[in-house]
Chains A and B, each alone.
Chain A
Amino acid sequence: MQPIGVIGSGNFGTVIANLLAENSDVLIYTRRPEVVEAVRETGNLNGQKIHPRIQATTSLQEIAERCTLIFPMLPSKYFRDNMRQIGPYLTPAHILIHGTKGLDVEISSFQSQDEHGLKLGMHQVKRMSQVIAEESSVLRIGCISGPNLSGEISRHLPAGTVIASHFDEVIALGQAALRSERFMVFENDDLIGVELAGVLKNILAVGSGMISGLGLGENARALMITRGWRELMRIAELFGSDKSALMGLAGIGDMIATCSSPQSRNYSVGYRMAKGERLSDIIASMDEVAEGVNTVRTAMGLIRYHGLPSPLIKAFHLVLFEDMPILEAIKVLISHKHGADVDFR
């Protein structure tokens, strides 16, 4: 039996490795040799007890050579680099299922890096599955996405996720690999929609944290989430998603979890900003990436380029990157003209 590969030894990577280990041997990649030591010596990783069927390695080549089913669980920022490193060892026989809820952005050299005017065309913004395809010869690609707060899964609380791919066999293999008594795995053939659902909802998690931090109440939260959802749908449309995935577990489901949980990193960025901390200090103090912050910047670039109506995302951008106090941004928001409640079918 081949082991199943996991790339990335962060919280979520560890959680997934533990789930996979219930059915199979697992080989987990980490770039830090001391982690390999720690796994062997203590059987612990990120404060989580590690399943005995998990081994660790610092060699991506070893992952590619020993595993055909591989789960990349990396922050979006490091995703492309890692794919470039493992790319030469991957073949079309490999199957990759990623769990990254972020986008890859390429800013061209002749473009202004200025926060206030960055415009991003579709060719500059890539989903993780596109990055895999660009950096390797792998075609059979999928993703997992859903309300999967690492802390809860590691405490063996029940949860569910969505596995998405255009290939039926990828879904079937992923489902079999993750099968567990405490983890339900749903299927979806709209890979684009499921990837975007997980990415975009983080924007609202940041906003939800701000609302809690300021004590603006549940009416305001409901208002923000519902109006914001419409803006996310427009962005998903740009990528060619049919939007239905946004209504599923990876969309609405994940949004409910992250918008209501202080455990969510994105939520806590918003919360701490509302309490007066500076964004740079918050990011420096976190041991893992809050994808939502970068997603706001990327979404804003897309909005500028395509001229989408997106007052809320603009307001988030003002607060996060243009030093506007949250209350002032809310004033700007309320001064907008308010149109139809539901303008889509």
Chain B
Amino acid sequence: MPEAETNPSNSEKTYPPVLPDVRTWPIFQISQDREALIAQIVQRAEGELVTQFSKGIGLLRNVAEVYYQERARLHDNPWKVDPKDDPAFWKRVRNRLQQYAQPGHEDPAATRAMLRDIIERYTREIAGDFNPATYNFARKFINFGFSRLFNAAQEGLFRGFRKQKRHLQEKMQIIGEVDHLRELTKIGTVILVPTHFSNLDSIVIGWAIETLGLPAFTYGAGINLFGHPVLSYFMSRLGAFRVDRRKKNHVYLSVLKIYAEEVLQRGGHMLFFPGGTRSRSGSLENRVKLGLMGTAIETQRRHVVSEPNNPKKIFVVPLIISYHSVLEARGLIDENLKQEGKERFFLLQDDFSSLRKNISFAWKFFKSSSEMVFSFGAPMDLFGNQVDLAGKSLDKYGNEIDMRHYFMANGHENNDPQRNQEYTRLLGQKILSHFHTDNVVFSSHLVAFAAWHILLNQKNGDLYGLLSVPEEDLYIGREEMLKTVDRLHVRLRELERAGRLKMAPHLHTDIRAIIEHGLKNLGVYHIDLPLLRGSKGEILTQDLRLLLFYANRLQGYELEKYV
């Protein structure tokens, strides 16, 4: 049965927009009321922070703490995107701080006003905007541009547009419960939680959302991406909000959290990478950063309180993207090994610092005959329950679940932040488990896993021992590869039958063909190949670390025993 599910993908289908008029989208409504949203966030943040700061070291010293962290950021780590008036703003804060710190010059009201100024500055920086005209232009551009790129890269520029579009959808397949997802965007608020391997992810997810006819999703984008004028123009009008990873002070993080909460509260669909950043090891996410996810539980609680009998609902839809290649693989795995090896941490060279690099990456990506699968998991509520087409949560016996019950103790509703925190952690686990069960395994993942573990066994499981061997000295016999891939393939099919993963259609063929397919596609646009065939049919590698990166994709299925 799972084979039937995986095989006929939705690639033939076209989806009309769920809500044809962009003006009816939640994100549009929210941006229409942008000033009201900002005012609401500022008011909430000020209230919450003043209460928190009144305990302990007090308001003034907390604001001073923010100032010191911001001064360090301006001094140690300035970026081109930083607003020109940043130094002047923080200098004014310093002057005011010095003034109010003088004995006899304490001024709680003025200190509070200063905090409000900081909050408002942060809120305006974070808050995204949404412009329907830009969105409509971008969606056409993406669709057309993708097809163009793809086909130009593949077989020249001259091909009918309709044909090109079909070809694109063959290469970029969408599977899973997409009709269900479309329904839910009408009923409630959807949080899309994708795996994250590449900077390409947000672009291709944009394509998938558009292809499925879904309304736009808000997402937090690194503020560095707003440095480029063209990118910035689009991003800031497509509903992305800005996240500055350098700012770790409590005020900033609180504003960010409240921003997300208010957008969710107003029904804005969100895209959220639960892993936080790209997977460094190449494995599926094995832990989640829950930060913004916690706001979803709190928002659901607020919905329950405000409308106990028919609360608005928030749904979570996991999205697992399978690639044969990840351009940044080498940089990511190097960083992973440095962290693992407890070496000095240093920042990853970002391969996406310029638009030119982005385009050259996209070109390379489409030029290789790679395919991509978007696997949408079954929609669930925030507690991991399945939901029906009407958005009702169901337990495993088919009984409807009342959202109020999650927020009650001893028969009464109460607010328990520790409980919400724990619900958030459990949600993270559910998401991770869906990342594994809805993962679509590719031939390239299989051959990389087999090859890496054969080599590792040759070195008795000594990872660093293996990594120190020159690549020229390593090879795998044709027969051994065949037998190992065969064993793993048998196990993968068992796992597929048990519903613990999905297999790409190209894996339902004979082992020799699978190995060839895997070798042909695995990490093809790296200069040094993770795997290749030698003259006598043996398997060689030119880059062990890359091989490790791709092998890690099958971590977490307890497959090591089958090598």
Contact = CB atoms under 8 A, between A and B. Distances in A.
B397 A167 contact: no
B408 A93 contact: yes
A68 B411 contact: yes
B460 to A, nearest CB: 13
A187 B397 CA distance: 33
Nearest to A94: B405
A82 to B, nearest CB: 15
A113 interface: no
A68 B410 contact: yes
A93 B397 contact: no
Nearest to B418: A168
Contacts of B406: 92-93, 139
B383 A92 contact: yes
B84 interface: no
B389 interface: no
Given A135-B396, A136-B395, A91 B422 contact: no
A166 interface: yes
A196 B408 CA distance: 29
A91 B402 contact: yes
B419 A137 contact: no
B494 A88 contact: no
Contacts of A139: 383, 406, 423, 426
Interface in B378-421: 383, 385, 395-397, 399, 401-402, 404-406, 408-411, 416, 418-419
A93 B405 contact: yes
Contact of A110 (B409, B416, B419, B494): B494
A173 B409 contact: yes
B409 A137 contact: no
Given A122-B558, A166-B425, A92 B401 contact: yes
Nearest to A121: B558
A114 B40 CA distance: 66
Contacts of A121: 558
B344 interface: no
B423 A88 contact: no
A118 B535 CA distance: 42
A87 interface: yes
B561 interface: yes
Nearest to B397: A88
A52 B77 CA distance: 71
B422 A166 contact: yes
Given A110-B494, A139-B426, A169-B419, A91 B396 contact: no
A326 B548 CA distance: 46
User: Quick one: which of A87, A88, A135, A139 has the most chain B CB within 10 A?
Assistant: A139
Nearest to A2: B411
Interface in B335-394: 383, 385
Contact of A87 (B383, B397, B408): B397
A22 B371 CA distance: 66
Nearest to A122: B558
B436 to A, nearest CB: 10
Contacts of B558: 121-123, 305
Given A87-B396, A167-B418, A137 B401 contact: yes
Of residues A2, A137, A167, A173, which shows the largest number of chain B Cβ atoms within 10 Å of its Cβ?
Answer: A137
A192 to B, nearest CB: 12
Given A2-B411, A87-B396, A137 B385 contact: yes
Contacts of B416: 168-169
Interface string A51-95: 000000000000000001000000000000000000110011101
B418 A169 contact: yes
Interface string A128-167: 0000000111011000000000000000000000000011
Contacts of B396: 87, 135, 137
Contacts of B423: 139
A108 B498 CA distance: 10
A125 B405 CA distance: 29
Contacts of A305: 558, 561
Contact of B401 (A68, A87, A91, A123): A91
A57 to B, nearest CB: 20
B404 to A, nearest CB: 8
Contacts of B561: 305
Contacts of B426: 139
A305 to B, nearest CB: 7
Contacts of B411: 2, 68, 93
Contacts of A93: 404-406, 408, 411
Contacts of A122: 558
A139 B381 CA distance: 14
Contacts of A68: 410-411
Contact of B395 (A137, A166, A173): A137
Interface string B417-441: 0110011011000000000000000
Contacts of A173: 409-410
Nearest to A119: B561
A87 B418 CA distance: 25
Contacts of A167: 418-419, 422
A135 B406 CA distance: 17
Interface string A168-184: 11000100000000000
A22 B245 CA distance: 54
Q: Which of B406, B409, B418 has the most CB of A within 10 A?
A: B409
Nearest to A136: B395
A91 B409 CA distance: 12
B48 to A, nearest CB: 21
Contacts of B401: 91-92, 137
A165 to B, nearest CB: 9
A141 to B, nearest CB: 10
A26 to B, nearest CB: 16
A336 to B, nearest CB: 21
A106 to B, nearest CB: 11
A136 B401 CA distance: 11
Nearest to B385: A137
Contacts of A140: 419
Interface of B: 383, 385, 395-397, 399, 401-402, 404-406, 408-411, 416, 418-419, 422-423, 425-426, 494, 498, 500, 558, 561
23 contacts: A68-B410, A87-B395, A87-B396, A88-B395, A91-B401, A91-B402, A92-B402, A92-B405, A108-B498, A121-B558, A123-B500, A123-B558, A135-B396, A136-B395, A137-B383, A137-B396, A139-B426, A167-B422, A168-B416, A169-B416, A169-B418, A173-B409, A305-B561
Given A2-B411, A168-B416, A168-B418, 20 more contacts: A2-B410, A68-B410, A87-B397, A91-B401, A92-B383, A92-B402, A93-B406, A93-B408, A93-B411, A108-B498, A135-B396, A137-B395, A137-B401, A139-B423, A166-B422, A167-B418, A168-B419, A169-B418, A173-B409, A305-B558
